[in-house]
Amino acid sequence: MTVEPVEDEATEAVAPPGPADDGTVTMVLWRGDPTGGEFVDYVMPSVEGEVVLDVIHRVQASEAPDLACRWNCKAGKCGSCSAEINGIPSLMCMTRMDTLPAGADVVVAPLKTFPILRDLVTDVSFNYEVAKRIAPFNPRPKTVDETKAGGYRMAQIDVERSQEFRKCIECFLCQDVCHVIRDHEENKTSYAGPRFFIRSAELEMHPLDASDRREMLRKEDGLGKCNITKCCTEVCPEHIKITDNAIIPLKERVVDASYDPVAWLGRKILRRTKASVAETSATAAATGPAAIQPDPAVSGMPTAVGE
Amino acid sequence: MAEYETHDFDVIVIGAGGAGLRAAIEARAKGLRTALICKSLLGKAHTVMAEGGIAAALGNVYPEDNWKVHFRDTMRGGKMLNNWRMAQVHAQEAPDRVRELEDWGALFDRTKDGLITQRDFGGHRYARLAHVGDRTGLEMIRTLQQKAVADGIDVFMEVKVLRVLKGADGEASGVVGYWRPTGQFVTFTAKAVVLATGGLGKSWMYTSNSWESTGDGVALALWAGADVIDMEAVQFHPTGMVWPLSVRGLLVTEGVRGDGGVLRNSEGDRFMFNYIPPMFAAETADTEEEGDGWYDDHANNRRPPELLPRDEVARAINSEVKAGRGSPHGGVYLDIATRRSAEYIRRRLPSMYHQFKELAGVDITAEAMEVGPTCHYAMGGVRVDADSQETTVPGLFAAGEVAAGLHGANRLGGNSLSDLVVFGYRAGIAAAKHAKERTRNNRTSAIDPGEVKEVINAATAPFARDDGENPYDLQSDLQQTMQKLVGIIRTQSELEEAMGELDTLEKRATNISVRGGVAYNPGWNLATDLPSMLSVSRCVAQGAINRKESRGGHTRDDFPKPDPEMGSVNFVQRIAAGTGGSDGPLGTPSINTITVTPEPLPVMPDELKALLEEES
């Protein structure tokens, strides 16, 4: 290949891979808005140790001050600068230029699954809407000892399961890569996506949470639509094992609740007594927790040790 | 361009980090129509960057810890410039606010007995920081965000606020801003306005702060006629990354030192033993052996000097580099690899492991990190009432980093996350009370449409200018000026030079031109951030000129010692009513209208004074 000087500005077509050793890099960035757009080349000097977001910032400061790009922390902690770099959903702030193929163009496109606002920025409000319908955290009541001092008692080993999911920085790369909504817009009304499966898993496995989310996961969240291709796990910048540690265990729990033939038979048989069961639980609810867990101050029960 | 969208609420909160979320949750809990307005997406605020933990005297690890010790540590760390009442309230209420986070779903790391565990940090006498590995801020913001969503609080994301507007009676009555995605202008009227906009570190080149930290809240308050104090007190965190250049300034948590990491110079010396100030000599180890013994036995050893307050450590690193004992990229070495097992490091400091591995190609379980001071936190900010967080403008409240007082001249690590929830909660209550009173007394919250139109016209003027200044160039020049002349070590002549430079930058900023449309245009967004950056930078430089002493985060080469007389006053800056005008960039008051006055600190009651005099 002959090395040509990079004088040819604004090559509209796909530019040939730039020479590796001329000290420049060609950034091929998507520019446009909801009505349409195109990829535009920007030839920038290479700088040692930079990440993709640094080069985007230099494009903004020099050639394209109105180039839209969302970012905040630039440290892989806030999950704002998600984009598709050479086709791979990634954080621009955590993708070092020297990990990309030397000499080749760097193509940066907006997330495909969400509507474009401008240039590299998409409208991710789908995710904020799904978040609203997740049944909130519902802790069990504190025990007498916990109320007296120190708050809830939980073992480290029990909190670690949910802590893995709480590492999520909400970059929505898993949502972007998930073919259930990436390739099927119509599924967006009936599918929560990997980010919210780990949110539900976090609550299901939370040592304090008392709600049962299995029916919600099956019906509204469309958990069954996920067919475990693990694309979400592959792109997760926090290395959360989304599929293995959250989605599969959730699927098992849902299956246990809804499709176990023995349980099904049990329900069939017990249907006759359902009315009386409902009655019993209604009585318990009306009597309230005091009936189950007598308040020593009220009932005059002896307390363990006074302060 | 004079068309704009309008909304009306009882309470509006500007900023959706820890303080803003906590304030909104409390105002909503009081039954008020509450809106949260933030410059980025929900959950991306700077709180996510907090790593090490949240300070609260829970006494879970050291039962002898209590609010009085936390109060004393905070005051001493702040070099006594703190508002004593804020330091007291903070120390007393932080434990409840931390346990409340747990009630809302936060999962802190545990002790063997199943309680919230606590880690050691600089300046805290006992292990006091509740944490989740080294991603405590993320845990906190996610917990609060999920609580706010569950409570049905209205959130307006990616809205930049340009001005706080007052009603005819002088009360804060709303704000005007624009939606960043569309450029559409919008007003929010309300009976109470809470500022929770965070910090101002983006005025420096090397900073741990994101693009958002442009001092908006301090500037909005200042322009509305509120007092700001202690602006010269800017914290340079001792350990930011120094290499590669692209991540220079990125934070390296103090948790590395809390968990056993030590600082060494290029000669391999643990130099911090040479920098123990008299104020902390009694409680600091003077041999490596004693310092190392402290991690496992606090009772019989004194703490290692690596865990002195941040101002001391930052100055020490600065001196080592100046003396030619720095690392190849102009920092010093932070070594935990030779001191703790790889497994321990990965478990305790997962984000740091990740950050160095992916951004610098450094394995911190095998090699030392290169670190140096980075602009991190503003102790100064809007002057508030210690109990209600109300500013000197009625109906305007401020909580979190934007407010001043709690941290004095230097903030202890871990005290910022607790600041957010303690004072966010209090601001939410007080704002709700104010809004209710206002409704009861039929005081309207009308804003003047003429004023709104002026703000909008000034904000869009850069589009009409063809050959004006590039906002990116201006920002870069401002950052270089502040880095070079108003950095960690300051002198009279450099500060005066900075004042002149800022005048020039302001003139240039009145001539900004912007290309493109109003929808998601970062060039324009930056142009609208520059007026606040200039105002707060001016406040820092002007405060620094006036404080002719060294105290906490403010170090004067020409006045290297603390001066008791200077230490008895706050430098108060304000734009007196009616004097602001609109000669500054984008129709804001010119920085030359900011005045500075020394005013005595609030007097501390004797019983609290006694706590400070106790031997350590």
pLDDT digits (tens, 9 = 90+) for B315-339: 999 999 999 999 999 999 999 999 9
Give 3-state DSSP helix, strand, coil % of chain B, rounded to 5. Answer: 40, 15, 40
pLDDT at A290: 36
Q: Compute the distance between CA of residue B391 and CA of residue B165 in angstroms, rounded to an integer.
A: 14
Chain A: nearest CA to B535, how far in angstroms?
A: 22
Angle of helix B18-29 versus helix B415-440 axis, rounded to 10: 40
Which residues have a Cβ under 8 Å from the Cβ of A279 and sit 6 or more positions away?
Answer: none
Same-domain pairing of B172 and B188: yes
Same-domain pairing of B263 and B183: no
Helix spans in B465-605 (H): 471-485, 492-509, 522-546
User: Could you list the residue range(s) of the whole structural domain that residue B18 is in?
Assistant: 1-233+379-616
Chain B: nearest CA to A123, how far in angstroms?
A: 9
- State whether residue B515 sits within 8 Å of chain A by CB: yes
Chain centre distance of CA B562: 23
Task: Look at residue A288 and tell me whether its pLDDT is greater than 80.
Answer: no
Tokens of A248: 């599969």
Task: Give the gyration radius of chain B's Cα atoms.
Answer: 23
- State whether residue B522 sits within 8 Å of chain A by CB: yes
What mean pLDDT comes out for the span B372-390? 97
Tokens of B539: 């406040």
Chain centre distance of CA B233: 11
Helix spans in B387-470 (H): 415-440, 449-464
H or E element, residue B234 = strand B234-241
List the single best residue of A30, A118, A132, A239 to mutate versus B (max B Cβ within 10 A): A118
CATH T-level topology, domain A125-260: Fumarate Reductase Iron-sulfur Protein; Chain B, domain 2 (1.10.1060)
**Domain closes at, from B373, B399, B433:** B373
pLDDT at A54: 96
Q: Compute the distance between CA of residue A176 and CA of residue A171 in angstroms, rounded to an integer.
A: 9
CB contact under 8 A, B41 and A124: yes
* Chain A residues touching residue B41 (CB < 8 angstroms): 70, 80, 124, 128
The residue assigned the tokens 């020490």 is B316
In this structure, are residues B504 and B592 in contact, taking their beta carbons and an 8 Å threshold?
no
Same-domain pairing of B383 and B342: no
- Residues of chain B with pLDDT > 90, as a percent, come to 93
**Domain closes at, from B341, B373, B405:** B373
Is B237 annotated as catalytic? Answer: yes
pLDDT at A305: 34
Chain A: nearest CA to B95, how far in angstroms?
A: 9
pLDDT band at B615 (very low <50, low <70, confident <90, very high): low
pLDDT at A272: 58
Which residues have a Cβ under 8 Å from the Cβ of B449 and sit 6 or more positions away?
Answer: none
pLDDT at B244: 87
Q: Compute the distance between CA of residue A197 and CA of residue B173 in angstroms, rounded to an integer.
A: 42
Q: What is the pLDDT of residues B127-140, one digit of tens each?
A: 999 999 999 999 99
pLDDT band at A6 (very low <50, low <70, confident <90, very high): very low
Tokens of B546: 């006036």
Same-domain pairing of B163 and B35: yes
Give strand pairing partners of B172. B166
**How far apart, in Å, are the Cα atoms of B217 and each of B77, B194, B205, B363, B531?**
25, 10, 21, 39, 12
Set B97, B119, B237, B574: catalytic member = B237
Chain B: nearest CA to A126, how far in angstroms?
A: 13
Q: Which residue of B lies nearest to A170 if distances are taken between CA atoms?
A: B43
What mean pLDDT comes out for the span B303-313? 94
Which residue from B60, B473, B514 is facing A150, i.e. has the nearest CB? B60
Q: Compute the distance between CA of residue A271 and CA of residue A259 in angstroms, rounded to an integer.
A: 16
Q: Compute the distance between CA of residue B19 and CA of residue B13 in angstroms, rounded to an integer.
A: 9
Q: Compute the distance between CA of residue B303 and CA of residue B313 in angstroms, rounded to an integer.
A: 14
In this structure, are residues B199 and B215 in contact, taking their beta carbons and an 8 Å threshold?
yes
Task: Look at residue B164 and tell me whether its pLDDT is greater than 90.
Answer: yes
Counted residue by residue, chain A has a size of 307
Report the number of distinct structural domains present in chain B: 2
In this structure, are residues B259 and B349 in contact, taking their beta carbons and an 8 Å threshold?
yes
Mean pLDDT across chain B: 96
Task: Look at residue B560 and tell me whether its pLDDT is greater than 90.
Answer: yes
Task: Look at residue B455 and tell me whether its pLDDT is greater than 50.
Answer: yes
Same-domain pairing of B357 and B474: no
Task: Look at residue A300 and tell me whether its pLDDT is greater than 80.
Answer: no
Same-domain pairing of B179 and B277: no
pLDDT band at A266 (very low <50, low <70, confident <90, very high): confident
- From the number of C-beta atoms within 10 Å of its C-beta (0-12, 13-18, 19+), residue B282 rates as exposed
Tokens of B27: 């105002």
- State whether residue B96 sits within 8 Å of chain A by CB: no
Task: Look at residue A10 and tell me whether its pLDDT is greater than 60.
Answer: no
Tokens of B90: 């903070």
Tokens of B89: 């309230």
- Residues of chain A with pLDDT > 70, as a percent, come to 81
Which residues have a Cβ under 8 Å from the Cβ of A304 and sit 6 or more positions away?
Answer: A144, A145
CATH number for position B412: 3.50.50.60
Is B46 annotated as catalytic? Answer: no
Closest C-alpha among A279, A256, A49, A59 to residue B329? A49
- Nearest 5°: the CA angle B155, B156, B161 is 130
Task: Look at residue B567 and tell me whether its pLDDT is greater than 60.
Answer: yes
Same-domain pairing of B448 and B550: yes
Tokens of A9: 């500005």
> Can you say whether the dihedral through the CA atoms of B468, B470, B473, B477 is positive or negative?
positive
Tokens of B311: 């101002």
pLDDT at A257: 78
Q: CB atoms < 10 A from the CB of A144, how many?
A: 15
pLDDT band at A22 (very low <50, low <70, confident <90, very high): confident
> Can you say whether the dihedral through the CA atoms of B123, B127, B128, B131 is positive or negative?
positive
The residue assigned the tokens 């929505």 is A172
What mean pLDDT comes out for the span A140-165? 96
pLDDT band at A240 (very low <50, low <70, confident <90, very high): very high
* pTM of the predicted structure, to 2 decimals: 0.91
Same-domain pairing of B383 and B505: yes
Q: Compute the distance between CA of residue B367 and CA of residue B371 in angstroms, rounded to an integer.
A: 13
> Can you say whether the dihedral through the CA atoms of B146, B148, B154, B157 is positive or negative?
negative
Which residues have a Cβ under 8 Å from the Cβ of B279 and sit 6 or more positions away?
Answer: B76
Set B119, B135, B257, B508: catalytic member = B257
What mean pLDDT comes out for the span A246-264? 87
**Domain closes at, from B329, B353, B373:** B373
SS (H, E, C) B352-391: HHHHHHHHHCCCCCCCCEEEEEEEEEECCEECCCCCCCEC
SS3 A167: coil
Same fold, A24-122 and A125-260: no
Task: Look at residue A16 and tell me whether its pLDDT is greater than 50.
Answer: no
SS3 A110: coil
pLDDT at B237: 94
Same-domain pairing of B266 and B395: no
What mean pLDDT comes out for the span A68-89? 96
pLDDT at B2: 58
SS (H, E, C) B493-515: HHHHHHHHHHHHHHHHHCCECCC
Same-domain pairing of B185 and B43: yes
CB contact under 8 A, B521 and A167: no
pLDDT band at B584 (very low <50, low <70, confident <90, very high): very high
In this structure, are residues B379 and B235 in contact, taking their beta carbons and an 8 Å threshold?
yes
Which CATH superfamily groups domain A24-122? Answer: Beta-grasp domain (3.10.20.30)
pLDDT at A273: 57
Same-domain pairing of B25 and B164: yes
Bridge-based pairing state of the strands B489-490 and B555-556: parallel
Q: CB atoms < 10 A from the CB of A270, how many?
A: 10
H or E element, residue B489 = strand B489-490
Q: Per-domain residue ranges for chain A?
A: 24-122, 125-260
- Nearest 5°: the CA angle B450, B456, B458 is 105
Counted residue by residue, chain B has a size of 616
* Chain A residues touching residue B250 (CB < 8 angstroms): 74-75
Chain A: nearest CA to B351, how far in angstroms?
A: 9
Closest C-alpha among B316, B320, B319, B321 to residue B305? B316
Q: What is the pLDDT of residues B202-241, one digit of tens each?
A: 999 999 999 999 999 999 999 999 999 999 999 999 999 9
Tokens of B314: 């930052």
Which residues have a Cβ under 8 Å from the Cβ of B361 and sit 6 or more positions away?
Answer: none
Tokens of B133: 């590995």
Q: Compute the distance between CA of residue B504 and CA of residue B469 in angstroms, rounded to an integer.
A: 12
Bridge-based pairing state of the strands B118-119 and B129-130: antiparallel
Which residue from A48, A75, A78 is facing B244, i.e. has the nearest CB? A48
Is the ipTM beyond the 0.90 threshold? yes
How many helices (H) and strands (E) chain A has is answered by 14, 7
pLDDT at A260: 76
Task: Look at residue A245 and tell me whether its pLDDT is greater than 50.
Answer: yes
Same-domain pairing of B392 and B368: no
- Binding-face residues of B in 372-431 toward A, CB within 8 A: none
